[in-house]
Structure 1
Amino acid sequence: MATGDDGAVAEVLKAVARHVNCLNEGSRASRKRALEAVRRETVDKSLSGAALQRVFSSLLRALLPCLADPMDSCREAAVQLIGDFVRRVPRPEDSLADLMPCLAQRLGSQEAVEPAEELRLALTELLSLTVGLCGKRMAPYLDEVVRILQRTVVDPFPDVKRESCKCAIEFAQSVPEHFHMQAESLVKPLMQTITHQHSRVRVAVIQATGVVVQHGNGRTMDDVLSHLAQRLFDDSPQVRKAVTVVVGDWLLHLKDRYSYFHKLIPLLLSSFSDEIPEIRSLAADLWKQVGAQWEKENEDDLKDKLDFLLTAPPLYPPEVERPGLGCRELVVRNLSRLMPAVSRDMGDWQAGTRLKMAQLLTVLLLHAEDHGTQHLQPLLSTLYHGCTDSVREVHAPCLESAKLLGVFVSPEAFLKLLLEHVENPSTHSASSPWAPLMVLGAVLGGCSRDRLQPHLQPIADTLALPHVCQERQQAEYLQQLLSCVDVLVGVCHHDCGTVSLQLLKVLISVESLANGQPIRDKADECVRALCAVQGVCEVSDLYRLHMPDLLQWLTHTLPSWTSYSIQNTQLQVILLRSGPVVGEFLPLLVPVFQNSLQPDRDPKMKLQLLSTLSELLMDAEHTLDSQRQFGGYAEVFVHDCILPNLVWCAGRTAAAVRTAALSCLLALLTGGALSAKQVLSLENQLSPQLLPALEEDSKMSRLLACQSLTVLLRQTAQNLQPDTLNKIYPELLKRVDDSSDEVRAVALRGLSAWFSGLGNNYDSQNFLPHLEFLFQQLLLYLDDPDSKVQEAVLEVLKTGSVVYPSLLLLEVEAARNKHRSPVYCDDLLEHLKTLS
């Protein structure tokens, strides 16, 4: 057989001798034809493996110079021919002594020798083929292979990068006992390439990194972790999947993995929140394997825990599968080293990093369970920053983490810190004053009623502290206050009855400070929930339960109230929301009104309170006079609350206060709180203040004064003395010439009421000059350019005609010819004829 092979080898070598000589000719075409001829005479023929091995050994040194041929096609043919030989010969390792230096020279030198990227790829593929076939026999060429890979991993051609990563994996697995000595030198080029724009290259680099680190020394781990962590934010799911697989493999198989658990666990658990279900599932499966393996490896340490079936905590999230004991223990034992990194990265400038850390924190707390108690201070600080992050997507996982604290940590532990932080947020690294409230609401939402019930009092007392619920107007702060109350009522239900006063104080304060309707609506919703807790149907019933305490709460600072005092606004909220209950506590409220509306008090504060009282008096039957007792306080109210504020003072604010007082007076006269007898008894106090008010600069003040005087005349005119009546009509008559059409119309209605109210004690003959003047002036306005005024004046004159018809007849006849149109005069004359 050997003789046959010898003959075949001799025949082949003889056939290719001339062609081998042609490989050194100057003609490119000749060299190319020679290579093709060598192929035909060797690999294309059916030679035995032994024969082909001998032919290859004889030809290799002649073929290798062709790898440096100036012509690309010749170099390509040479690479393909050598590759075919390597692939087919039984002992390719015999060629390594000649082949590897040549490959190292073409691919691994400081300056790239092979200019064509397709040929660099072909040479790299030849190297991969050689490594794959020679395996352990590549050990002597460790330096050459690593030097080549250092260059080709960073090659500009993406396909060369990918093939180099594949080759690195093959080589590391082939000579593990030697590779660790040079593994570190491949880390830097791999990390340079890990951000390549092609996702397939990034995947290949990550896979190669996994194997290089696995078979390297421990020093390379720290160099690659930060780069792998960044790839968890990669846009390509395949890249993120590759990171997950590599990290999972390290956790399972890395020799010194125990030293790196605290660095690797966050990377794998971060994939739990990946947007791709496949990656989430893969990460969960790998994590289960890691936990099970660690549990088995540490079975003796876990013996006590393994012997007893540990049930999940009562409020464990039902939609979440509880991690195995090994997984939980791994997190618990590394949590002290994980938390500082999580806290640090929660302050990272990149929003994606902060979001990923927030999601990771939720996973960690699910594993840590009640062991989170030991890390409560840094946890809360981290959550404060996360819950108030500028990117709202970060809030949800942070709030979920806070809720998990409520599930696993005892209220005694978290309330001790949280309530202190709520009281003094600025001294506890809270990024925003509402951060502790936000976290408190979420934590309370995770608690059970039984665990929270013993702590209701301190929670409610803290929320009701003046500097907690009364000093900040930011909408976000108020929303979080409401959230805490809402959660507390939702969790504890009827148990909140014991603290409903404190909670109502908080809700009143929020509504007092709110600038937007949504917050007020939410506060009202919480008040109604509190009503349900107390077993009452109406909001007014809730106020009835607590009104004395609420008034005491407010009025202990009454002497110092100003327009900036929240107590002033709180009082208005109570008055407007308590409905008919206001009428039940007049003995407590009227002194408050008296004190607050004194002339020396803050004008803006009085303006606010008078506006509120005006609103109440308009519906007095269902508010201040709900018990029909307001009449007993009417004189005091008018004398101490309204009249002092009608006295003229200079300034716009004072004018606004007078306007509010006039509005309040009008509401008092029209709201039904006073009887006719009471109105009559007050007339001598009211008229002297209303008549000057008719001269106010403010149109609204003049209008309100006219309206009030009209109402007063309708109710009291028949019982007034003539001198009093004669002081009123001239002032009303002036207002008929007012610049405001509204004031003119009301003034005319007032004159109509004046005429209608003239009783038997008004002697027409004795007061003839007054009537004569009044008729003459009204007849002038009967010729007003405004037809609406003319019609109103006509009605007034018809009403007044019954007082002294003959006098009016003479005045009309005298004025008729002076009018631009006699129509209204004729109408009035016809009316007077019917009277006669």
Structure 2
Amino acid sequence: LFSPKITHGWAAPGSTEAEDQHAASEVLRGLARHLNCLNEDNKTTRKRAIEAIKKETVDKGLSGGVLQEVFAALLKPLLKCLSDPMERCRETTIATITEFIRCVPKPEESLPYLVPCLAQRFGEKEIVEPAEELRLSAMELLSLTVEVCGRHLAPYLNEVINILQRTIVDPFPDVKRESCKCTVNFAKCVPDHFHMQAESLVKPLMQTIAHQHSRVRVSVIEATGAVIQHGSGKNTDDVLSHLAQRLFDDSPQVRKAVTAVVGDWLLHLRDRYSYFHKLIPLLLSSISDEIPEIRLLAADLWRQAGLQWEKENEDDIKDKMDFLLTPPPHFPQGVERPGLGCRELVVRNLGRLVPAISHDVTDWLVPTRLRTSQLLSVLLLHAEDHSTQHLQPLLATLYRACTDTERDVVSNCLAAAKLLGTFVPPPVFLKLLLEHVTAPHSPSHPWAPLMVLAAVLGGCPRPLLKPHLQQIASTLAQPEVCQEYHQVVYLEQLLACVDALLLQCESDCGGVSLQLLQVLVTVQSLSSEPRLTEKALESVQFLCKVQGLASATELYRQHMGLLLDWLSASVNAWSSYSPQRLQLHIIVVQSGPVIGEFLSQLMPLLHNCLQPQKDPEMRMSVFTMLAKLLLDANNTLDSQGHFREESEKFLSDTLLPNLVWQAGRTAAAGRTAALSCLFALLHGGAVSPGQLLCVEEKLTLQVLSALEEDSRMSRLLACRSLSAMLRLIGTSLHHEALNKIYPELLKRLDDSSEEVRSAALQTLGLWLSSLTKDYDPERCSPHLQLVFQQLILYLDDPDGSVQQQTLEILKLGSSVHPGLLQREVEAARDKQRSPLYCDQLLQHIRSLPAQTAAGCPD
């Protein structure tokens, strides 16, 4: 732009003013005819005249002095041509004037005529120039005029401002950009006067700042920076919100422009101390920008602002210069500590920044919440331990932010919470956090304090956290904390707190191992998500690892006595909704053989919670758990061989009362659960035959009664329990006791359930096997006859498997009284649809040894 001025802007060496005037007169005489043609009605004539004037003047490369004289004479006629109806004429005129302004040595002499004309043409409320390309050329002319005339434009402040007001909002994007460029230059050229009219440009700039073209937005932002920088400072608040919105712009160049402008204000704005609390968050937000170039620019400007503040306030911070230059002992590794000036800027404005952060972190726009959450971490890194005095509002902010649906917002806020743990002393943050954990402020999000606590603990150094482990673990283990809420997200955060303690303190957690295990047991008992249960089990293994224990079994052995005392303390109040029954299940199942070492505490607990008057659903749950343990008694309850000492009392005092019939479906379900436990006890071998014989009469009565239950499962379990009893003590039973059993079993042969029928047949086979030599077949032949008659009927059953099973049982019974059985089979043979199985049975009886078949007829 400046090279033509250098070439043509000065008179040739040795030339005089008189010579220049003479040469100019010659040029003007040659242009006289063309000047006259400018007033012709023919537009072609006017166009040719303007083109000729341009050709004979600026295009000829006249000397500066000559050109100055010629321009002075031609200016008024040319300015009239700006209103020419022909677009081509106006275009050539603007181009000609532009070249004159560029080349003449004293362009400011044209200002009294040029600026008012431009203002009349382009600064009115209505657009006078219809051609957008010409409006662009005119703005380029004005920009050039500002560049070459500079401070000489001060008397024309109003006219230039009027033009800029209109052109900034021009429909043509290129005009907007050129106007913004001109605004920047004009503000720099006449700073002593610009501030008087700068306010009038703010409104058009803000109307244009969201234009669809990114290059226009960049230009507007740069112009805004200049207007505020050289203005009165009254309009800073009016533009800050608009600039803040541009930080979310999709265009990196726009965000970069905002960063540069805000950084420049922090460094050079006259009243910047009054706006630090508003400018700092804008610049620090760019430090987290996704574009490296913007991050580096923001960091550099921020560093400069901090250094400048240090110099300007050196007297105030002399006592801090040495002390605050040393990083805190637990400063985050791999993170560069901000300079003293930067830290002081944040610390002194944090009181104003925190409320704004609290407001914006819940904004309805996701990008706003995301940027705000990023900014929070940056501010806390600068504030260090000074964030302690703002801890209450900061925690409230984090609680709300942690409930955000955007994962990145939550992640950023947890990073900020971790910084709180690093810089704030544990006694301070624990006083507030543990109180909020115990009594959450938000009923809909009770897990938010736990989430923040886990993050804070993750940032707290081990030496500082160690003295408070007991307080933290005891709070987490409180029933109102770990048992009150069953939501998965709540349990996840409870687990996160335990993991944070284990990660930070490791072996120091040995002193609170019991409380942590209680929390982990509770999480497992309340969890409905397999994923969460697996994570809790991993945490149990981690707890073992930090204590040097080989397995969870060792961990439970270490705490089992206290765990059972913990459960026993509330057993009288247990119901189906009590988490304690689920905790008991987790403890006894996961402890494996260890539970067998603590029967003296476990059995009274079980007896208490399994009383018939207790909640039926709760009893069912405990019975089901016991059934699983008793099926593998040698590796659980009887691992030490002591359960047999308790089994008789357990049978008589706990199981039998629960088998007594009561009306109602719930009571029936409870009896089914008790029967499952009885079967497991008998089948698992946890009771000796001698103990079983002591309660045989009462037990048999209840089990036979259960064969009449409406529940298929109850009848099935009753059959299987009888089978288990017969295996254990069948041969030791008196014939009267045996004869009480079979009639109820025979009834089950017609059961609606095939599974029950099969189990009844199997039990009848065991009953026949239990008939020893003490059982007099002749004396008891009526009983045997009834058994044989009933069983023979099922040799003709429609179900082939029943026929086969019955045949095997009768073969077994043939050794008891073969003669009686043979007579009954022969009597029934011809009455059946198929004599096949009868013939097979008869053949078997005849094949028996002589001493066995002695009672058989020939």
TM-score strictly above 0.5: yes
Name 1:806's counterpart in structure 2: 819
SS of 2:235's partner is helix
Name 1:71's counterpart in structure 2: 86
Distance in 2 (CA, whole Å) between partners of 1:698 and 1:539 is 39
Name 2:553's counterpart in structure 1: 540
1:623 to 636, 640, 664: 636
Contact 1:735 1:747 in 2 (8 A): yes
> Structure 2: which amino acid aligns with 1:500?
S
Name 1:604's counterpart in structure 2: 617
> Structure 2: which amino acid aligns with 1:707?
R
1:31-66 CA-to-partner distances (Å, cap 9, x unmatched) read: 222221222222222321111111111111111122
Name 2:68's counterpart in structure 1: 53
> Structure 1: which amino acid aligns with 2:484?
E
1:560 to 573, 577, 589: 573
TM-score by length of 2: 0.95
Distance in 2 (CA, whole Å) between partners of 1:677 and 1:440 is 58
Query: Are residues 1:817 and 2:834 paired?
Result: no
Distance in 2 (CA, whole Å) between partners of 1:822 and 1:151 is 116
Distance in 2 (CA, whole Å) between partners of 1:677 and 1:155 is 107
Name 1:279's counterpart in structure 2: 294
1:698 to 707, 711, 719: 711
Name 1:171's counterpart in structure 2: 186
Query: Are residues 1:297 and 2:312 paired?
Result: yes
CA RMSD of aligned residues (A): 1.6
Structure 2: any 5+ residue segments left out of the alignment? 1-14, 854-858
Contact 2:704 2:744 in 1 (8 A): yes
Distance in 2 (CA, whole Å) between partners of 1:78 and 1:692 is 118
Name 1:87's counterpart in structure 2: 102
SS of 1:627's partner is coil
Name 1:111's counterpart in structure 2: 126
Contact 2:751 2:757 in 1 (8 A): yes
Distance in 1 (CA, whole Å) between partners of 2:493 and 2:323 is 42
SS of 1:109's partner is coil
Shift, 1:309, TM fit: 7.1
**CA distance 1:546–1:307, shift in 2 (3 Å):** closer
2:798 to 785, 796, 811: 785
2:512 to 460, 479, 499: 499
Name 1:651's counterpart in structure 2: 664
1:833 to 846, 849, 853: 846
Mean Cα deviation higher: 477-486 or 502-511: 502-511
Shift, 1:152, TM fit: 0.7
Name 1:739's counterpart in structure 2: 752
Name 1:201's counterpart in structure 2: 216
SS of 2:250's partner is coil
Name 1:231's counterpart in structure 2: 246
Name 1:421's counterpart in structure 2: 436
Distance in 2 (CA, whole Å) between partners of 1:774 and 1:306 is 105
> Structure 1: which amino acid aligns with 2:423?
F
Question: Where in structure 2 are the equivalents of 1:7-26 lying within 5 Å?
Answer: 7-26=22-41
Shift, 1:512, TM fit: 2.1
1:103-149 CA-to-partner distances (Å, cap 9, x unmatched) read: 11121101111111111111111111111111111111110111111
Distance in 1 (CA, whole Å) between partners of 2:765 and 2:277 is 92
Contact 1:733 1:747 in 2 (8 A): yes
SS of 2:621's partner is helix
> Structure 2: which amino acid aligns with 1:238?
Q
Contact 2:324 2:340 in 1 (8 A): no
Shift, 1:606, TM fit: 0.7
| Aligned pairs, number | 834
SS of 1:598's partner is coil
Name 2:676's counterpart in structure 1: 663
> Structure 2: which amino acid aligns with 1:99?
L
TM-score by length of 1: 0.97
> Structure 2: which amino acid aligns with 1:762?
Y
Mean Cα deviation higher: 605-614 or 713-722: 713-722
Distance in 2 (CA, whole Å) between partners of 1:119 and 1:19 is 23
**CA distance 1:822–1:431, shift in 2 (3 Å):** closer
Distance in 1 (CA, whole Å) between partners of 2:834 and 2:342 is 103
Query: Are residues 1:256 and 2:271 paired?
Result: yes
Shift, 1:10, TM fit: 2.4
Distance in 2 (CA, whole Å) between partners of 1:449 and 1:46 is 82
Query: Are residues 1:453 and 2:466 paired?
Result: yes
Mean Cα deviation higher: 366-375 or 820-829: 820-829
Distance in 2 (CA, whole Å) between partners of 1:196 and 1:217 is 26
Contact 1:494 1:533 in 2 (8 A): yes
Identity value in percent: 64
SS of 2:325's partner is coil
Distance in 1 (CA, whole Å) between partners of 2:249 and 2:507 is 50
SS of 2:667's partner is helix
Shift, 1:304, TM fit: 2.2
SS of 2:446's partner is coil
Shift, 1:430, TM fit: 8.5
1:214-242 CA-to-partner distances (Å, cap 9, x unmatched) read: 10111111111111111111111111111
Name 2:113's counterpart in structure 1: 98
Distance in 1 (CA, whole Å) between partners of 2:157 and 2:321 is 47
1:570-612 CA-to-partner distances (Å, cap 9, x unmatched) read: 2222222222222222222212222211121111111111111
Name 2:12's counterpart in structure 1: none
Distance in 2 (CA, whole Å) between partners of 1:162 and 1:485 is 59
Contact 2:376 2:416 in 1 (8 A): yes
> Structure 2: which amino acid aligns with 1:331?
V
SS of 2:457's partner is helix
Query: Are residues 1:215 and 2:226 paired?
Result: no
Contact 2:287 2:295 in 1 (8 A): yes
Contact 1:315 1:446 in 2 (8 A): no
Distance in 2 (CA, whole Å) between partners of 1:492 and 1:162 is 60
Distance in 2 (CA, whole Å) between partners of 1:609 and 1:9 is 117
Structure 1: any 5+ residue segments left out of the alignment? none
> Structure 1: which amino acid aligns with 2:349?
N
Question: Where in structure 2 are the equivalents of 1:180-191 lying within 5 Å?
Answer: 180-191=195-206
> Structure 2: which amino acid aligns with 1:114?
E
Contact 1:473 1:514 in 2 (8 A): yes
Mean Cα deviation higher: 301-310 or 149-158: 301-310
Shift, 1:308, TM fit: 4.8
Contact 1:510 1:523 in 2 (8 A): yes
Shift, 1:191, TM fit: 0.8
Shift, 1:569, TM fit: 2.2
Name 2:150's counterpart in structure 1: 135
Shift, 1:765, TM fit: 1.4
Shift, 1:8, TM fit: 3.0
Query: Are residues 1:377 and 2:392 paired?
Result: yes
Contact 1:384 1:431 in 2 (8 A): no
Query: Are residues 1:595 and 2:608 paired?
Result: yes
Question: Where in structure 2 are the equivalents of 1:330-729 lying within 5 Å?
Answer: 330-426=345-441, 432-729=445-742
> Structure 2: which amino acid aligns with 1:223?
D
**CA distance 1:169–1:234, shift in 2 (3 Å):** same
Distance in 2 (CA, whole Å) between partners of 1:309 and 1:228 is 33
Shift, 1:3, TM fit: 4.8
Name 2:743's counterpart in structure 1: 730
Query: Are residues 1:795 and 2:795 paired?
Result: no
